[in-house]
Amino acid sequence: MFAQRLYALTAATLMVLSLGAYAAEPGPNVSAPEAFALIESGKMTLIDIRRPEEWRQTGVARDAKRINMEHPEGLIAFLRQIALEVKGDANAPIGLICRTGNRTTQIQKVMQEVGFTNVHNIKEGMVGSAAGPGWIARGLPVEPCPNC
């Protein structure tokens, strides 16, 4: 049922996003330290949606699942990969991280539209933004990814 809804709503969501209908923040947002605590306690799955070259440049937050939002098979395949990481549980707590929180804001909206109910945006990202200094500057653990 979730997979069928994922396919149908993804197409509808893409149409709506292309029209610019989503201007509001989707929420919820969490700081990098809050996300780290949830991940460490096993209460959240962290997904880094950046591209492989970005993972190589900065490394990846420890325990993050690397799922490139620019999936070679498209958005549905990207969302399907996320669903696999949480064993098909649309209610599983997921934290999204990118470089500065811009892409995660957009992906959070899409994920909520297709039925993911517990998606958190680490809006300061890996390198910081107006939302905060970022995962790296806060000294949170990062793993190198030279072969990403």
Encode pLDDT of 50-78 as tens digits: 999 999 999 999 999 999 999 999 999 99
Q: Chain-wide mean pLDDT for the chain?
A: 88
Domain range annotation of the chain = 2-143
Lowest mean pLDDT across 21-25, 27-31, 61-65, 117-121: 21-25
Q: Residue range 70-97: average pLDDT?
A: 96
Element (H, E) at 111: helix 102-113
Nearest by Cα to 96 from 49, 132, 133, 52: 49
The reported pLDDT for the residue numbered 56 is 97
Confirm or reject CATH 3.40.50.10810 for domain 2-143, answering yes or no.
no
The reported pLDDT for the residue numbered 58 is 96
Confidence bin at 2 (pLDDT 50/70/90): low
Query: Is 60 exceeded by the pLDDT of residue 5?
Result: no
3-state secondary structure 28-72: CECCHHHHHHHHHCCCCEEEECCCHHHHHHHCEECCCEECCCCCC
Q: What is the pTM of this model?
A: 0.84
Confidence bin at 4 (pLDDT 50/70/90): low
